[in-house]
Amino acid sequence: MNSQKFTSPILEARNLNIYYGTKKVVKNLNMKIGKQTVTSLIGPSGCGKSTMLRSFNRMNDFIDSFHYEGEVLFEGSDIYRSKIDVTEFRRRIGMVFQKPNPFSSSIAKNITWGPKINGYVGDLNELVEKSLRRAALWDEVKDKLNDSGLALSGGQQQRLCIARAVAMDPEVILMDEPCSALDPASTLAIEDLIHDLKKEYTIVIVTHNMQQAARVSEYTAFMYNGDLIEYGPTSKLFASPDEKLTRDYIVGRFG
């Protein structure tokens, strides 16, 4: 079932149970994410993909009814129990949300704000250019860096959010259905970007689009109803899944 045995995973969930109130939405889940891999989380709506993703940078903490059992390890140390500074590892694990959410401030400030509050001492102008180039947005916005981030199109906004995450020099980037609010052209642009980014970062991406999972990721995990049903190399999972449930989902029998 869980075929991935990375020897030094960058992220790992151990016997993780997540509850919202009394409702259990992640069930005794074990999963290792390898360094510098792109991993897709797929599964029907409501199966716990976003919840699982948010547990990797503790964004579930903001949900009042959230509680958990088990461990989540980032480079071997438990981000929930040990005394690491929450804000410090959130710098090292970036996140891109389903709906583009740039700040209303200028494009440049969207990039520089995070590094600034985290004590960045390098050249901020350089960082703006580098990050926007990294997110394939520089040419489109270089003449309007002082315009509001909200003045951009949806696809540009999402690339700005990726640039904002990249500017923090993270090790991991978590993406929750980053293309679901975008048109096909912007979706392609972002998929290209993910291809490009995977040379430097570990990427975990939630998607309900199986073609997308097949296109961008090396590993795919299929979740169903809070369980991790199957997790393996993307080509294997799509071509010859071990579980009947996975096969049924992939051929579109439900979901």
Work out whether strand 77-78 and strand 66-74 pair parallel, antiparallel, or are unpaired: antiparallel
Integer-rounded Cα radius of gyration of the chain: 18
Q: Per-residue x/- mask for Mg ion, residues 17 to 36, rule CB under 5 A? A: --------------------
Instruction: Outline where the chain has alpha helix (H).
Output: 49-55, 86-92, 107-117, 124-134, 138-141, 154-166, 184-197, 210-216, 234-239, 244-250
Q: Does 161 bind another protein (CB under 8 A)?
A: yes
Closer to another protein by Cβ: residue 92 or 215? 92
Closer to Mg ion by Cβ: residue 52 or 152? 52
Q: Does 203 bind another protein (CB under 8 A)?
A: no
Q: Does 63 bind ligand ADP (CB under 6 A)?
A: yes
Closer to another protein by Cβ: residue 106 or 207? 106
Sheet of 66-74: strands edge to edge? 23-33, 11-20, 66-74, 77-78
Q: Does 101 bind another protein (CB under 8 A)?
A: yes
Chain Cα centroid distance, residue 214: 16
- Contacting residue, 16, 31, 42, 47, with ligand ADP by CB under 6 A: 47
- Contacting residue, 168, 193, 205, 213, with another protein by CB under 8 A: 168
Which are the contacts of 235, defined by CB distance < 8 A and separation ≥ 6?
A: none
Q: Does 50 bind Mg ion (CB under 5 A)?
A: yes
Query: Of the ranges 56-64, 124-132, 232-240, 247-255, which one interacts with another protein (CB under 8 A)?
Result: 56-64
Rounded CA separation 127/137 (Å): 13
